Amino acid sequence: MQLLHHVIADNATKYPTKSAIVLDGITTPYQVLQQHADDVASLLQTVGIATGDRVGLYSAISVELIAAYLAILQVGAITAATHHTLSREKLVHQLKHSGTRVLITDCTESLPELIEEVGLELILLTGPVFAAAPKVIQLADAIASYRDQNAPAAMPLVMDSEQPTSIFYTSGSSFNPKGVLVNHRIMLAACSRVTEYLQIKPDDRILSYSTLGSDYGVYNVVMPLFAGATSVIESHPASTADDVLAVVEREAVTAMHVFPPVFSLLANAGPEWQVRVPSLRYISSSGQALHVRQIQQVRNVLPRVKLFSSYGLTECKRVSYLPPGQIDERPTSVGKPLPGISICLVDEQGRAIDQPGQIGELLVTSDYLMLEYWNMPEANAKAFVHDAFGHSRMFRTGDLFKQDAQGYLYYVARKDDVFARNIWMVNPLEIEQCLAAHPAVAEVLVVPVADESAGHVPRACIVLAAGHDQTSEQALLDHCKARLDWHMVPTHFVFLEALPRTDSGKFTTQGLI
């Protein structure tokens, strides 16, 4: 079996002058990207990086960083990325947890102290060096010197598809996120399965707002390269629908892979965009639930564009998707499992649920289920169910779902998010869907607030839509009372300019509770 970097190298041979990456409007052809990767691989072998070593990534997105990711795979090492906006404390924690030897970064602050604290052997800078420091090398200068000396190319290694490629850290709000370990077999299977159902072809130009700090970002960059297509990347988040669609128009984008916050921007697009972006054929969204009203708004603005709603998680990339032809009939569904995915819903006692409409925790297994959580034996022991429901190993997602009689899945809530108000259980997502249906609400998150008598009560954090600045709390309260059971009606409303987001672009309740 070919390895992931072999597939991309083959595409560089097939399409040498074709655009591989378009980053903020600047194009890098396949042959240039591959040469960058080969150069970095040679350098990594020269400084002693060997099979199984961990190489950290802590940098804003750049062509140099993408090439470095491919180079790390070439030398059989394992990437361990930390999002470049995370704190120094989290960076240090994840570098220590992964056992990183070499760090590739654009950060220039206190590097000697970082080397000492983590025990790094080397830092390779993708940007300029402002002051000379031991064990700190400017990547471009090192490669130029390497070429001047006519140093040998990287030695090809004998590896198989079980060779680990990456540790992907989960995004959660906890200080110690889990490191999801994957290998070539897993990444190849995930790329193959997703590009197949999205029908990605070499002439596609796929837009994302990605970094390499998460699995979602890595796959958004790598999947187009896997298919011989072009990865169009914007490094700065969009703030309006025009921001997004202007890139689509400028770069003749054919597809978008985005989180729901970007999708919600598109709901406010003007009707003129329907004729200005004829190249756009689909939008794929995952990570959080789409709101029905926003789906309808996007369908009205871009009626020819297919909408893919899907569900996945770091531990098992993509679990299900809803065929675009079902989006109007089942707008709240995340579809059916992909081929090769097996699922089971279980109740609180761990028994399989076989009745449509019943809610249970989703268990999942596939050929691209993660290997394990890196260096976390207790978490691994809790994460898997062994020799049950006809499978040797199934992963506990921690997500609650229900399934209809036709087998379509509906996300209900994260188990940890559901909270009690007196003896009644409150599902924040259900309240969010209700409020999102109000024309004055652009964005909404619901969080629990401690209450002496009830335990917890729901607070709705609202961003009002343009032109609805005068909407009152009472109007939204009445809207909820008419549609929700009493215990689900928010007791507090907070109006914000914007909702907080995670580093990867999802909405987050962090800072709201």
DSSP, residue by residue, 233-256: E-SS---SHHHHHHHHHHHT--EE
State the pLDDT at residue 510: 79
| 372-373: strand order across its sheet | 136-138, 122-125, 100-105, 54-58, 78-81, 164-169, 179-183, 372-373
State the pLDDT at residue 145: 81
State the pLDDT at residue 150: 67
Give this prediction's pTM.
0.89
Residues of the chain with pLDDT under 50: 173-174
Architecture of domain 30-181: 3-Layer(aba) Sandwich (3.40)
State the pLDDT at residue 173: 44
Distance CA 353, CA 415 (A): 16
Distances (CA, A) of 34 to 5, 64, 73, 115: 10, 11, 13, 30
Distances (CA, A) of 456 to 254, 398, 432, 451, 459: 46, 21, 17, 5, 10
For the chain, what are the domain ranges?
30-181, 237-413, 417-495
| Tokens encoding 55 | 């190489």
The CATH number of 417-495 is 3.30.300.30
| Tokens encoding 401 | 């779902």
Identical topology for domains 30-181 and 417-495:
no
State the pLDDT at residue 194: 98
The CATH number of 237-413 is 3.40.50.12780
Which residue type is seen at 291? H
